[in-house]
A and B are shown apart, each in its own frame.
Chain A
């Protein structure tokens, strides 16, 4: 059963902590994405990657970085977490460069206190 797996469903962190959100896909997909989802704002793209060691900024990259050392794994890093980064974080992958369909993980609900 193909899937995108996010390492944590719920996380609670303190302001200023460094936070790692991990995402793994088992479908040999080229593209991987990180979105955050907030009430009233919908899904917003943070970063994406179309190949190993490649990364591109999305619409809201400020305060975030990413790492893609292996094809199957895409990590989102909050260098110094802030309360306005409290959100649902969704990882997704797609097979080709044309976004034919996104397969999402179940999400990580992050609370920064």
Chain B
């Protein structure tokens, strides 16, 4: 089983601050996805990255895929209380088929007003 390590596990910051969370593996991803999950709901897809070095932006969220496709980061600028949630990365590894993604354990993010 492939492993994805997410860090930090918990993060609590004040509104307006910037933050970065990380997703790492020793294996190469064929693609990587980031999801956000709010309490009592299922995860919702934010972005998919496929190409090494790729950067995607979603309003105040910036997603980066490592050049070697073994790691990814999510940077949030000027965090707002609405960004609070569980952020999950999920990787599809080379050779993987219809066997589901491998998920990291997530980063619990709390943005305090």
Report which A residues bind B (CB closer than 8 A).
4, 9, 30-31, 33, 35, 40-45, 48, 50, 56, 58-59, 90, 92, 97-107
Contact = CB atoms under 8 A, between A and B. Distances in A.
Interface string B21-47: 000000000010101000011111100
13 contacts: A33-B100, A42-B88, A43-B88, A43-B90, A45-B99, A48-B99, A97-B98, A98-B97, A98-B98, A99-B96, A101-B33, A102-B90, A107-B40
B96 A104 contact: no
Interface string B78-113: 000000000010101000111111011110000000
B42 A105 contact: yes
Interface in B28-68: 31, 33, 35, 40-45, 48
B44 A104 contact: yes
Nearest to B9: A40
B97 A97 contact: yes
Contacts of B33: 101-102
A44 B97 CA distance: 17
> For chain B, what secondary structure do more than half of its interface residues adopt (helix, strand, loop), or is it mixed?
loop
Nearest to B100: A45
Contacts of A105: 42
Given A102-B45, A104-B42, A104-B43, A42 B106 contact: yes
* Across the A-B interface, the 4 shortest Cβ-Cβ residue pairs: A104-B42, A42-B105, A97-B98, A43-B103
A6 to B, nearest CB: 8
Contact of A31 (B1, B31, B98): B98
Contacts of B43: 43, 90, 102, 104
A41 B4 CA distance: 12
A103 B41 CA distance: 12
B42 A90 contact: yes
A100 B48 contact: yes
A106 B98 contact: no
